[in-house]
Chain A
């Protein structure tokens, strides 16, 4: 790029940086808008009237032809679906509280099981440590479909099928939070722990007073990530829960047919709220935890 007459090199350089930054902002903004489109569609669709929604989605039905033409702004906004969902649909709340219960139990269980396990992997040397950790990593990488049958047989043998424990217990002992927390605990300097030991601190003291506070970010990031995963569980409840009254909220939306697409969008918006709140709660920890997990110990 040739500099304009009358401008010195520093000004040109400054202008060039601004232009680069502006282009980057534009590209990123375009990508952000693109990624937010489904959410926007969800929000607008949730207040679109039934007839309008049916008219737009008619091409998707066997009776229609052509392509769906989505209009963002509804002609007659209708908020009655929110009222209907929140004040006249107890089924939704049954599943909502099922999801809360399942997610809460899973997260609590993971904190109890995964934090000590990760501390042990990070801070102690024991026989077959590397092999055991390799097994953990392999289990983390295995998709659910691979272990579904074995899980089903074990749960059936223990009599947990068709109970919430069928979903909770396998998730409690998931290896993914162990892997995340392992990296967080590795960031604690060994010299610090040695100094505490020299001052007379026991192993429990080290864990409670030094390990947990210093790995707080990683723990909360694991909680947030696992919350999002547990809130959206579909395969496990579908495989292990036959009784509909035990289902989580993630299975409610597929039960709504195309003729009630507007209602489904409304339910989706409400379902999205807890995830947004938890994400807002743990955003900082999530960033810290991920960065810690990416740091080589």
Chain B
């Protein structure tokens, strides 16, 4: 209670304020609602559109006749006026005869001028035609000449081509003989075999010579041992005796030695002395060259080599030992292994182990050594036997050497030379070069023949073209033709003047009618067009009306309608429709006999019905603004007051418009969307509106 007392005023104020606000709320809502435009709405419908088109027009004559005459003739009198009825033969107007005479004279002068001009042109045309014939004949002669000359040139070229081809064919048939690759390979192989065999024989001679030298040295050593033994045993007497008893053996050996020298056997001294400095021996050295003893000379005196000896030919170990060379142990005496001191101490220089010959294996082989020969107790028989064996081996070596030298000489006498095919190849190349030259000549001759043919063809074509050009018809001389046409026309005009002169200048009506237009007056010249127009009274009348461009879609040829003429009505159809310069159309209806009078106005009413359109609204709800159509639709939106209705201005496209409804383009309105039909106030876009009860409900 105390709280209420203390706060009474404030509580009352707050309550009063709330009550005041509540009252204001009610008042503001009512005022707001009162100010809103109240509307009625309609929904779009699917329907057809109807329209009544009324066209105004007038009755006019069905057929008119125009009376005209030659222009620019002065009119003397005019006998009829507009609306006058004329009969057949009635004079319409009369021409001035003096002016007509002047026109006739002037026309005659024109005709004479044209006739003179035509005659001149025809004469010139004849001269030109004759000249053209002459030119054509000359060109034909040129054509024939070109044809003959071309034929000759072609024949000559053909002959030259045949000759060149024949030369080529003949040359190709005469092919030189050459050794093929296989034959050449066999020739080279045979030559190589011969050279190899010569090398082997030469090596064999060389080995046998060495063996002979060794054997000779053994003989000498054995002989020396025997002599030493005798000298040691018997002194100088015995030595003389031994010397006297030995000659037969010595003689037997010496002749062999001498014979060996005579047959070209190289002595050991000479061989060893020259062995280090001797260059490889020539393969094709003459047989006597090696036996003349000049082998010991310096390398400068050696005959020139035709083929260098192979380096491996020098070592004796690489060559097979001939079976008859039983003294092959002398190989160790090759120049490479023989020291230069062999001459001063030959016995000591030969190691007995290096000899693998059968003689080396004999027990008394140590006898040749100087140390052993001086040993006391060595029997003379052994020494002599050794001497005899050495002599026997020397003789065997000499025989084998002689036999090898014979084979070598026989081989060298064959005198083979290395195969050479250079001349054969040169001949073949020369033949090919000549064949290529002949082939080109034949090809050039063929081209020359083709060129001659083309040249002939070209020349003939050019000549033919000239002939064709000459016989081409020339362009017509339009001056002559035009003058002829002009003359014809002037004669017709002249004829018209004559007729007018015969009629004494009177122009008459061809049949009965009513004059509708007069385009001549006295004192003035006749016009180009109709001078007088009159209508035929016997023909049916027509109703002419103008259809505006925007109403053309309602009226077309054959459109049925109702024609109202005064108090008479007639159902008829449009017979003719003609566009006019201003975009409108002239529609013509034929009237039945006896209906309407000329010049009477009337109305042609057409009832038009469109196809069905899905979206049609009353036509008065569609407004236009700067050529664009729009409507007001109701849109609902959420606002502070909740859902409110708002008028929305929406631009639409009118596809068809009837008298009461307009069809809008599809999609302009959604299903159920309302179009504002009426409002208590002017509506603006986005204005809030509310419904009201439609009138009449």
Contacts and interface: CB of A to CB of B under 8 A. Distances in A.
Interface of A: 86-97, 100, 216, 243-245, 247, 252, 273-274, 277-278, 280-281
Contact of B27 (A87, A97, A273): A87
A273 B17 contact: yes
Contacts of A274: 14, 17
A237 to B, nearest CB: 13
Contacts of A278: 14
Interface string B622-647: 00000000000000001111100000
Contact of A281 (B10, B21, B24, B35): B10
Given A87-B28, A277-B14, A281-B7, A244 B21 contact: no
B32 A280 contact: no
Contact of B641 (A90, A273, A280): A90
Interface string B591-625: 00000000000000000000000000000000000
Contacts of B17: 273-274, 277
B31 interface: yes
Contacts of B252: none
B640 A247 contact: yes
B82 interface: no
Interface in B9-29: 10-11, 13-14, 17-18, 21, 24-25, 27-29
B28 A245 contact: no
Q: Which of B11, B14, B29, B640 has its CB near the most chain A CB atoms (within 10 A)? A: B640
B642 to A, nearest CB: 5
B641 A94 contact: yes
A86 B30 CA distance: 12
Nearest to B20: A86
Contacts, number: 61
**What's the dominant secondary structure at chain A's contact region?**
helix
Contacts of B640: 91, 94-95, 244-245, 247, 252
A184 to B, nearest CB: 16
**What's the dominant secondary structure at chain B's contact region?**
helix
B28 A86 contact: yes
Given A88-B31, A92-B28, 4 more contacts: A88-B28, A90-B29, A94-B640, A244-B638
Contacts of A94: 640-641
Interface of B: 3, 7, 10-11, 13-14, 17-18, 21, 24-25, 27-29, 31-32, 35, 638-642
Given A88-B35, A94-B641, A245-B640, A280 B29 contact: no
A244 to B, nearest CB: 5
A269 B642 CA distance: 25
13 contacts: A88-B28, A88-B32, A89-B32, A90-B32, A91-B641, A92-B28, A93-B24, A95-B640, A97-B25, A274-B14, A277-B17, A280-B13, A281-B10
B31 A87 contact: yes
A274 B21 CA distance: 11
Contacts of A92: 28
A243 B638 contact: yes
A71 B80 CA distance: 96
A258 to B, nearest CB: 20
Contact of B28 (A90, A252, A281): A90
Nearest to A252: B640
A96 B14 CA distance: 14
Contacts of B10: 277, 280-281
Given A87-B31, A245-B640, A93 B25 contact: yes
B56 to A, nearest CB: 56
Given A91-B641, A281-B14, A96 B21 contact: yes
Contacts of B25: 90, 93, 96-97
Given A273-B17, A277-B17, A281-B7, A245 B642 contact: yes
Contacts of A273: 17
Nearest to B640: A91
A94 B11 CA distance: 23
Given A243-B638, A245-B641, A87 B24 contact: yes
